[in-house]
Amino acid sequence: MYLYGWNKLDRRTHLWFGWVYFIAAFASMVIINGIITFMLTSGKWIENHEFWVGFFNPTYFPSLFVRFAFSLALAGIYALVTASLQKNADLKGKIVKWSARWIVPAFIVLPFFVYWYVGNMAPQVWASAKGLMPTATRYANLIVIFSIATFVLSLLTLVKPRKMHFVFSLVVLTCAFTTMWAFEFIRESVRKPYIIDNYMYGNSLYKTPMNGDGGFNLEQINQNGVLNTAKWVQHREITTQNQIVAGKEIFRVQCQSCHTVDAYRGVKNYLQQRNWDASTMALMLGSLDAMHNGTMPPFVGTEPEKAALAAYLATIHPVTKAPEVTMSGKMTFQSNCAMCHRADPSDAVFSNLKQMDQETIVAMLADLPTLNPRMPNLALTDSARAELAKWLHE
């Protein structure tokens, strides 16, 4: 109505349609913002489950200001693209100057709103942004680069506004969209492993028992088994005949919400890099939630179910029987340790081992749970432990 009434409606009616459109769009942002910020920072809702406490959560208002400021900038950029197509140089110059009044101030205040937004996140939310899975950190760099580019390019449009080129306006638009895209990607990545912070994991698993959860929570599944709890599975009992197909069902229930077999986030490529056999995979599954900065939910279920999942994963990438070759310490670390640990002083285990002599390190590597009860008891060969100890001590 607003677009097609441009030359058909009187000015007052046309502006009325514009205001209705603005209010409706802003109201949708107010509502959607409450939902996505609640998923990121549930706050005290975890304690009282009150609707408005969850809706107006710690990041609600910072996020609202960020999004509103950015929407003002985008409005100016859309006008900038429109201006670049005008043949009347005077009209083009006027619209370009008007557009800059929206873009430049918005990008000046945005850093302050973003700082407010980040400051209202719980410390553990940012934990996944560091170390082994620095997705958020990398995309934060994109935000800095492309937001500065958008700001500078918008200022440059004022140098010769009457000669604004269409391609230049598209570059500004691309930089702005890249900034927003990176922001949204960060919001999604730092929420892991949860879909609702501190309440529900990304695979719909409840962290603690809740009314109406159907038993799909950590405590009950570890006690009763995932196959006896999940609704849409064929096999309830595991036998030697159905172990692999039961493992495939466990993969579908617990893993497939984020992983495919050999496509997006495919586990096949990951298993190829590690070359683990089924027994090693079963050990690693016990520390799943410690891998990659805790971006994955824990494995839940019984030991036979863990073995079934490992058996299924072993069919995706069968271990190749390579000749006996002594791997370097670094290769051993990458294959067996790097999922949870960094070769960096900030990693407590790495730092502690670094201070020990080689003989002590070799002895401690023979019984990994003594270093940390969460660590899998990997049966490293004597030569592998020696090479790893040598590399750690360098």
Cα 338 to Cα 55: distance, rounded to the nearest angstrom:
38
Residue 382: what pLDDT?
Answer: 86
What are the b/e assignments for 279-294, b being 16+ CB within 10 Å? ebbbbbbbbbbbbbbb
Residue 345: what pLDDT?
Answer: 81
Per-residue pLDDT at 325 exceeds 70: no
- For 127, counting Cβ atoms within 10 Å of its Cβ (0-12 exposed, 13-18 middle, 19+ buried), the class is middle
Grade residue 158 by pLDDT with cuts at 50, 70 and 90: very high
Q: Which residues pair with 196 in a beta bridge?
A: 200
pLDDT digits (tens, 9 = 90+) for 43-100: 999 999 999 999 999 999 999 999 999 999 999 999 999 999 999 999 999 999 999 9
pLDDT digits (tens, 9 = 90+) for 289-300: 888 777 889 999
Q: Which residues pair with 217 in a beta bridge?
A: 206
Cβ atoms of 358 and 390 closer than 8 Å: yes
Grade residue 319 by pLDDT with cuts at 50, 70 and 90: confident
The fraction of the chain above a pLDDT of 70, given in percent, is: 96
What's the mean pLDDT in 330-358? 82
Q: What is the pTM of this model?
A: 0.84
Grade residue 324 by pLDDT with cuts at 50, 70 and 90: low
Of residues 88 and 384, more confidently modeled: 88
Helices (H), 275-368: 278-285, 303-316, 329-336, 348-354, 358-365
Average pLDDT in the chain = 89
Poorest-pLDDT segment among 119-128, 204-213, 269-278: 119-128
Grade residue 392 by pLDDT with cuts at 50, 70 and 90: confident
86: Cβ contacts below 8 Å, ≥ 6 apart: 92, 95
Classify residue 361 by its DSSP letter. H
Residue 370: what pLDDT?
Answer: 78
Residue 86: what pLDDT?
Answer: 93
Cα 281 to Cα 271: distance, rounded to the nearest angstrom:
9
Of residues 331 and 35, more confidently modeled: 35
Grade residue 206 by pLDDT with cuts at 50, 70 and 90: very high
Residue 327: what pLDDT?
Answer: 77
The pair of structure tokens assigned to 127 is 């934990």
Cα 345 to Cα 124: distance, rounded to the nearest angstrom:
20
Cα 140 to Cα 385: distance, rounded to the nearest angstrom:
38
Q: Which domains does the chain have, with CATH numbers?
A: 11-198 (no CATH), 221-316 (1.10.760.10), 329-393 (1.10.760)
Helices (H), the chain: 11-40, 45-48, 51-55, 60-84, 89-119, 135-156, 166-190, 218-224, 243-254, 267-274, 278-285, 303-316, 329-336, 348-354, 358-365, 382-393
Phi, psi of 207, deg, nearest 5: -70, -40
